[in-house]
Amino acid sequence: MPNSQQSRSALIWLWLALAVFVLDIATKQLAEMMLTYGRPVYLLPVLDFTLLYNRGAAFSFLADESGWQRWFFTAVSLGVSAMLIVWLKRLPRAQVWMPVALALILGGALGNLFDRLVYGHVIDFISVHWGRSYFPAFNIADSAITVGAVMMALDVVRETWQERRQAS
């Protein structure tokens, strides 16, 4: 495959990553402007918007540390983002599912990276709960990362099934 086709293909998926990044930053700014820290705005019996800050990673992992985790997670985000860009550029132009998954993860990683660099924490505001049981608050970036990871897993399962069918 000519290199220009690979580059064009990668650029298409980088636009999706950029769209996720912009949507994430815009919704976090709206949350900052319209919500009061720690005070929920109830939308549905199982959903509210509550402005919270997370100095750690998923599920507030390492959030109570002295501050070194900000730079650790920044370095991890930069490394993962670079790896995802290289991976996107190497994928065949005809593939769709995996590039979309990688672009979603990349856009989400960059959104949370932006927060860490600018604010020193990640802005979360989406809160899902059942009664008094709360899932950790999250944001659009976290949602994109999760959807992308599920898509990757499904793609691996699909490829494994195809390989087994072809082998038999």
Which sequence positions are flagged as catalytic? 124, 142
Distance CA 16, CA 108 (A): 11
Say which DSSP state 121 is in.
S
Amino acid symbol at 19: A
Q: Take residue 134 and report the two structure tokens written for it.
A: 């709360």
- Coil, helix or strand at residue 151: helix
For 95, the 3-state DSSP assignment is coil
